[in-house]
Amino acid sequence: MELQEQMDDLSCIQPELLIKANNDMLSSCVLFENGGNYDKPEVEWYQGQIDEINEMVNTCKEQRSEKVKELLEKMQSLKQEPQEDFNTEYKQSIEELSAKDGLGKMYGQPRRFAQERLRSEMTKCEEAQKGVDKILAKLETLCDKSFSHYDPDFNYATEKQSLSILIRINLVSLLRMMMHYGKHLGGFTPVDGQPDHPKDIKRISYREDQEAIELTEEELLLDAEREGEELEHLGPIGFNNSKEEYLKFPEAIMKIDNTCRDLVTKLYTGENAKYLVGDQKIPEYLSVFLTNMHRQVEEFKISCVRQLRMSTEKLEALCLKIPKSVFYYLQSKYQAIITQQLSNDNLKFEAL
């Protein structure tokens, strides 16, 4: 805009100055009757010549303005066309780079999906391990409670559940949680070709008024609910999230892998199909990404199995303490009950 204004000013000023100089020259021609050196016909002839010259100047002025306008339009075109070409090439380059390396909102979908789902599956495992550790700590607290919480004057009638039953419930729950979580991870080595090894533990009674440990008919009706409660501390993998399809950890990872491959098949069509390479017909970046993802998954799985194994070792050590705790609790409980009953009987006898 500034250049155009400058060109317009120049195209106007110079012709105007020339016309003004011509007119000034004619004005300086004074007639004889006015004391000058020029005759009137002579001045009129000069006037005709100057008018022709001024007309030529104005014509050149207009032609010059048109030429300047053409040059400015040409300059603007020369400025815009390369910019448009550059923008087109730039957009194309970004598109190709995004498709090649899986970047951006569109082509980054497979990578983002895999990262989000992988993080979700890892979080499920971390929550399950926290649940195992929580019940393990609770079981240890219950065992310690039998030696410190009860005194000879304790009223056992106030207990909603006996300590021995609480220990049994939490022990069974912990065993089932560990087995379920281990199977979820795929952390057990198959025995005799049986992938569901080890077998689930047998259901037992939570009643102390009988010698048998088998479930009674009344308990059979409640056992299905009990089974769910025993695993609820594992979080989503303990069927606490019934809205989602339950998949074991290796199965979930394979589903993530397959979904990523399906996504790129839908995204890479037309000219972008050239990026589908190799036997698997997926982009090179995705092949590298999935390889690294499976390596990360394997390392995470080994770490989780190691933590679970450490928890089982703690439980193994605790199992040496559980019988002593249960025996001490039952001994203290029934000694106190018998002592209190004898005391009451003595009071009744003395009152006679």
Over the stretch 163-182, which tens digit does the pLDDT of each residue have? 999 999 999 999 999 999 99
Whether pLDDT at 143 is above 90:
yes
User: What one-character-per-residue DSSP string does 157-219 give?
Assistant: GG-SS-HHHHHHHHHHHHHHHHHHHHHHHT-SPPBTTBTTPSPPPPP----SSSS--SPPHHH
* Close Cβ partners of 143 (under 8 Å, ≥ 6 residues apart): 167, 318, 321, 322, 325
CA distance 138 to 114: 36
pLDDT confidence tier of residue 195, bands split at 50, 70 and 90? low
pLDDT the model gives residue 323 = 93
Contact 185, 305 (CB under 8 A): yes
The Cα-based distances of 233 to 123, 129, 151 in angstroms read 14, 9, 32
pLDDT the model gives residue 7 = 47
User: Cα 265 from chain centroid?
Assistant: 22
At residue 38, the 3 state secondary structure works out as: strand
Among candidates 232, 173, 235, 183, which has minimal Cα distance to 204?
173
For 102: left if phi > 0, alpha if psi spans -120 to 50, otherwise beta; the answer is left
Average pLDDT, integer, range 55-69: 79
Residue that the structure tokens 């090439």 belong to: 89
The Cα-based distances of 277 to 47, 67, 265, 282, 284 in angstroms read 87, 57, 12, 6, 7
Average pLDDT, integer, range 242-258: 86
pLDDT: is 177 or 27 the higher one? 177
Poorest-confidence range of 62-66, 106-110, 116-120, 179-183? Answer: 62-66
Return the structure tokens found at 157.
């009638």
pLDDT: is 125 or 229 the higher one? 125
Q: Can you give the pTM of this predicted structure?
A: 0.71
* Close Cβ partners of 35 (under 8 Å, ≥ 6 residues apart): none
Q: Convert the pLDDT of each residue in 269-284 to its tens digit.
A: 877 788 788 787 888 8
Instruction: Phi first, then psi: give them for residue 31, nearest 5 degrees.
Output: -70, 160
In the chain, what are the domain boundaries? 2-101, 104-351
Amino acid at 174: L
Q: Is the peptide bond before 198 cis (omega within 30 degrees of 0)?
A: yes
**Residue 205 CB coordination number (10 Å):** 17
Contact 186, 250 (CB under 8 A): yes
